[in-house]
Every structure is written in C-alpha cells, then in structure tokens.
C-alpha cells in the first residue's frame, strides 16, 4: 500500500492529530474517548510523562475505536516498547540516524520530525514519505510550509506546534500538508480538571474546520 495513503486512511475525514500529554491512565482513557466523540479519529499520546507507557497500554486496551499514535519518540530503544504497548503509528520531534533506522524497521507507520529543508530531504532519503514539521509556528507558520512544500517533492507535511482553531485552515490549505497536529483541544488544564465536555467541544470545532477545507 502507498505510504501516504496509509496516513490518509489512519486519519479519516478529519486530518487533525490531537497531541496529548497525560500522566494518569484513567485520564488518558477519558481524554481519548472525549476526542473521539468530537470527531477526531486519531490520538497521539506523547512520551513526555513518567507514566506514558501505562497510559498507552490502557488506551490501547480500553479505547479500541481510536487510532492510537505515540509521539515524542526520541530514542531507537523506545520504538519496540511503544509498538508492543499498542501504538498504531509513531511520531518523533526530530530524527537521528539510529532513530531513523529503528523507525524504518518498525511494523507501523512513522512520522519523523523536521525543522529545515535539509532535514526534510534527509528524511525523504531515509525512505519516509511524510514528516512532522515542528515547531511549525516558530518556524514561520503556513508561509514556511508553502516554501518547504515547494522544494521537497511529494513529501507529505504535518505541521505541529502552535496550530489552533484560528490557524488550522491556513495550515491545511498549504500544498503537501495532509494533516496538522494540535494540543489545543486537549490542553493540560482541561485534562487536570477532567473537563471532558470541553475537550469534545474543541475536538468538534477542529474536525468541522478541517472538513471545510478538504
């Protein structure tokens, strides 16, 4: 199967990837269900907390309706563990030679992070068909994405970092952008306060705006 088609099928009709940092497995389950209820098919749980692996395992077991990604993968040694925990895809903030080899060898799709044209071309040469562009807003926002897409051929782009309801359409409207990552619908304070209705409301806003663009 074509690699970009893999990503399109994973994301469904609302190509927004909610980026979640959560330390409690029960809250990981609750926020994943809330995001899915708002129309976002995928959830990216990051390896930024001490209990991240337990959260991944719990969501994989209890929320099978979501397509579960694992983000902030920074070491080759983490790849096998998160795949075993139930990840359907992996995301990294950057790419080293060792990490590139591990991601290429893993049995699920991987989205390596880049911040420059040189890094994007290196990822393409390593065999990746799509990359995460991070931190997108710091790098120059949609203008940077348009410039990057003009020189990286068919490489798919997924901007993450600073994407929200007011900028989502601009990002998704850039050539070569097939999805956008956003933490706005699942901010840490919403998780801490168990405001699952607000998480669903925000997810619905992003899902609807994404569908309007496509």
Active-site pick, 101, 119, 132, 208:
132
Fold of 3-213: TIM Barrel (3.20.20)
Domain boundaries, the chain: 3-213
Catalytic status, residue 132: yes
Decide if 135 contacts 163 (C-beta within 8 A).
Answer: no
The pLDDT score that the predictor gives to residue 5 is 74
Confidence of residue 3 (pLDDT cuts 50, 70, 90): low
Question: DSSP string covering 23-66, please?
Answer: S-HHHHHHHHHHHHHTT--EEEEES-STTHHHHHHHHHHH-TTS
Catalytic status, residue 176: no
The pLDDT score that the predictor gives to residue 1 is 36
What's the mean pLDDT in 47-76? 98
Neighbours of 21 (CB within 10 A): 20
Confidence of residue 2 (pLDDT cuts 50, 70, 90): low
Active-site pick, 44, 187, 193, 208:
44
Per-residue pLDDT for 214 more than 90? no
Signed CA dihedral, 189, 66, 44, 166: sign only:
negative
The pLDDT score that the predictor gives to residue 78 is 98
The pLDDT score that the predictor gives to residue 64 is 97
Decide if 173 contacts 130 (C-beta within 8 A).
Answer: no
The pLDDT score that the predictor gives to residue 159 is 98
pTM of the model: 0.95
What's the mean pLDDT in 82-92? 97
Output the average pLDDT for the chain: 96
């Amino acid at each position: 199967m074509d690699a970009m088609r893999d990503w399109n099928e994973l994301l469904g009709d609302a190509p927004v990837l909610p980026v979640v940092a959560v330390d409690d497995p029960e809250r990981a389950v609750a926020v994943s269900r809330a995001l899915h209820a708002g129309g976002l098919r995928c959830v990216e749980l990051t390896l930024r907390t001490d209990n991240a692996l337990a959260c991944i395992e719990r969501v994989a077991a209890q929320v099978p309706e979501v397509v579960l990604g694992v983000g902030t993968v920074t070491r080759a040694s983490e790849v096998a563990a998160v795949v075993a925990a139930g990840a359907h895809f992996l995301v990294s903030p950057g790419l080293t030679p060792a990490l590139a080899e591990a991601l290429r060898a893993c049995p699920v799709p991987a989205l390596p992070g880049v911040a420059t044209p040189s890094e994007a071309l290196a990822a393409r040469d390593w065999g990746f068909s799509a990359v995460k562009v991070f931190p997108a807003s710091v790098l120059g926002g949609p203008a940077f994405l348009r410039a990057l897409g003009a020189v990286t051929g068919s490489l798919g782009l997924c901007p993450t970092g600073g994407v929200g309801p007011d900028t989502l359409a601009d990002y998704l409207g850039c050539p070569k952008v097939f999805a956008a990552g956003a933490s706005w619908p699942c901010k840490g304070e919403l998780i801490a306060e168990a405001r699952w209705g607000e998480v669903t409301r925000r997810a619905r806003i992003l899902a609807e705006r994404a569908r309007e663009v496509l």
